[in-house]
Amino acid sequence: MLGKMVSMISEDDHQLMLAWANLVQVHAVMRAELSRRLEEQADVSLSEHEVLFRLSRAPRGRLRMIDLAELTLQPKSAITRLIERLVQRGAVTRQQPADNRRTTYAVLTREGRALFDHARPVYVQGVRELLGDHVTPADVRLLRQRLRAVLNGLGVWADERCDPQPLTDAAP
């Protein structure tokens, strides 16, 4: 029965399944290698780097914890633990407005900016070597267009998450 089901898959569907498998593989390999490089060369995890990146682009270097969770596509509990590690390192502080004690902001410190500035070249070089060395700039533009189409089709494209722009007043 399984053999008949497999044979009923069209060549287009077969290629689609293979493309998905390859995308998952690229993600897993790149994530593991970027994590290794960041931890060895910059003493920061890949998740910490992403949080520092998001905070470095935020106005006044601060974001509500709920917004940080949404931007990084992580559960609130995971962001809470991650921010706690960064607070212990002095890279981030927490702020609660006096008029709304239910809201908590994560705020990038000078130490956090320095940590991000130290880690960023390791990250950029890693992405360049692991991805950029194997595709052309035109391929990258096409890949981004196609991935945007998928994210739009799923209703989850958000410019602030998927296409963040640097802000001039972001640095603490």
CATH code for the domain in which residue 39 is found: 1.10.10.10
Q: How many domains does the chain have?
A: 1
pTM, entire model: 0.86
In a domain, 96, yes or no: yes
Query: Is residue 36 within 8 Å of 26, Cβ to Cβ?
Result: no
Mean residue pLDDT across the chain: 91
Tens-digit pLDDT profile for residues 131-143: 999 999 999 999 9
Query: Is residue 135 within 8 Å of 26, Cβ to Cβ?
Result: no
Label residue 53 by pLDDT band (50, 70, 90).
very high
Query: Is residue 20 within 8 Å of 147, Cβ to Cβ?
Result: no
In a domain, 136, yes or no: yes
Predicted confidence at residue 6, as pLDDT, reads 57
* Integer Cα distance of 108 and 61 in angstroms: 5
Look up the domain containing 49 and give its range: 11-162
In a domain, 169, yes or no: no
